Structure 1
Amino acid sequence: MRRLVLLRHGRTEWNDSGRAQGHADVPLDEVGAAQAKAVAPVLASLRPVAVWSSDLARAAGTATAVAAECGLEPVLDPRLREFDVGPNRQGLTAEQYAAAHPEEYAALLAGDLDAIPGRETRDDVLRRFLPALGAYADALDEGETALVVSHGAALRVAVPAFLGWQGDPGESLGVLANCGWVVLEHSASTWTGGVERWRLTAWNRVVTP
C-alpha cells in the first residue's frame, strides 16, 4: 500500500476574520502555529518519507513544523497553491466584496468565474495541481507514506479529480478544518476484483484535545 496524506494549513488571522486569501502570502497566526505544532507528532507517527507543500507562507509554515517533527525538509511547490481569487476579492470579506464589486460578486454567485478578473477556475487549479499529485504518487514505493500541505478549496476540487470522480463533487465534501487532513491509499480491493487504485479512506481528520 502507498499512502498520501493531504493536510490543510493552520489558521491565519484572515481565516479568523473571513477575508479571502487566495495567493496572498498570509502567515499563520498564534492559533495556526499551535495547530501545526499539535498535528505534527500525529502525522510524524505515520513515518512519512517526504513532505511537499504549497509555497504560500501559511502552508509553508505548517509544513515546516510538521517536517521538523518528521526529521525532514519540506519541498515547496507553487502548483499546490490555493485558488487565485483575483485582486479585487483578495483581502476582503464576502460582504465587503459584494459592496465594492457587485457585478463580480453576482458572477461569483452564478458560478461565472471567467467573468472575474484574475480569478482561477476549477480547471485552472486542476491543470497545475493534478500533475503535482500524480508525480508525488509515482515517487512512492510500496509501503511508503508522504505528506502534502495545501489549501482547503484547492484540496476540495483536486481530491475528487485525482480519484477519477465524475463531475464536480467538491461541494459534497465538508469544508476542511485548519490542519484537518485527508488520507488517500493505493491498494487492491476484493470489491474491484483485486484491482489496485487510489481510494479516499479519510476526510477532515483533526487532532482532538
Structure 2
Amino acid sequence: MNGTQGGRGRRIVLWRHGQTSWNIERRFQGSLDIELTDTGVAQAHRAARLLAALKPDAIIASDLKRAAATAAELSAVTGLSVAHDAGLRETYAGKWQGLTHEEIIECFGEEYAAWKRGEPIRRGGGELETEVADRAAPVVLESADKLPDDGTLVVVSHGGTIRTTIGRLLGLEPRTWEALGGLSNCCWSVLGEGVRGWRLLEHNAGSLPEPVLGDDD
C-alpha cells in the first residue's frame, strides 16, 4: 500500500524545527548539525502544546539536533516516543552549507538563479530536490501506513525536506515544488487522506505569524 489510497482518514503533520542561530543569520545549514537557540526551544515548547491537541499517534523526526530537540518537546507533552530517521535530514548542499544567503548569491549566482527557476540543480554539488524526496517521502509513507484509521503522524523535519516531501505526496511536478512557500520556524503543514490521495489541508500554520527565515535548512 502506498499510503495514498483507501480513504482511511489519516493525517500527516509536517513540523519544521525551531529557530537556530544560523536561521537568524540566514546561513544555509543543510545537513550540518546546528542546535536550537533558547528561542527555538521556547518555540518548540509552545507549538508542542498546540500539536498535542491533535492527539498524534506517532512521532518521527530527523536525527539532526535541531529537529530531534523540537520533537522531544512534543514527546514530553504526549508521552509518545520519537523514532529518528536520517532519511528526514535536510538537503545536503555541499559548498553552499555554512554560507549566508548573500554569499551564496555572490559565489553561486547562476546556480542559485537556475534553482529558483525550477531547474534540477545540485546546489553546491549536493543533492537534487528529487533525491531528497526519494529518501524522505518513503519514510513518511511507511510510518503513515502504520497509523490506525483517522490516525495522525507528526513528522519533525526541515524546511526544504518538508517542501519536497509535500510535493511528492501531492503528486506535483518537481519544478513546481517551489510554489509551496517556506515554513517559518516551528510552524507546520497538514496533509489529509482523501479518496484520491493526499491533500494539503494547512500550510505554514502556527500559533502566531512568523517571518520565514532560511526555509531550506
- With structure 1 as the length reference, what TM-score do the two structures score? 0.88
Contact 2:62-2:86 within 8 A present in 1 as well: yes
Matched, 1:40 2:51: no
Contact 2:67-2:157 within 8 A present in 1 as well: yes
The count of corresponding residues between Structure 1 and Structure 2 is 197
- Structure whose CA Rg is larger: 1
Whole-angstrom CA distance in 1 between matches of 2:63 and 2:122: 25
From 105, 111, 131, the equivalent of 1:107 is 111
Report the CA distance between 1:115 and its aligned residue: 7.4
Matches within 5 A, 1:104-183: 104-111=108-115, 113-114=121-122, 116-117=124-125, 119-183=126-190
Whole-angstrom CA distance in 2 between matches of 1:156 and 1:80: 12
Which letter maps to 1:7? W
Whole-angstrom CA distance in 2 between matches of 1:145 and 1:115: 33
Matches within 5 A, 1:1-209: 1-86=9-94, 88-99=95-106, 102=107, 104-111=108-115, 113-114=121-122, 116-117=124-125, 119-187=126-194, 195-208=195-208
**1:142 and 1:109, CA in 2 relative to 1: closer, same or farther beyond 3 A?**
same
**CA RMSD, 1 decimal:** 1.7
Which letter maps to 1:75? A
**Structure 2 residue ranges without an equivalent (≥5):** 1-8, 210-217
Q: Which protein has greater RCO, CA pairs closer than 8 Å, 6+ apart?
A: 2
After the TM superposition, list the runs of 4 or more consecutive aligned residues in structure 1 that deviate by more than 3 angstroms.
none
Report the CA distance between 1:165 and its aligned residue: 2.0
Whole-angstrom CA distance in 2 between matches of 1:157 and 1:76: 19
Secondary structure of the corresponding residue to residue 168 of structure 1: helix
**Structure 1 residue ranges without an equivalent (≥5):** 188-194
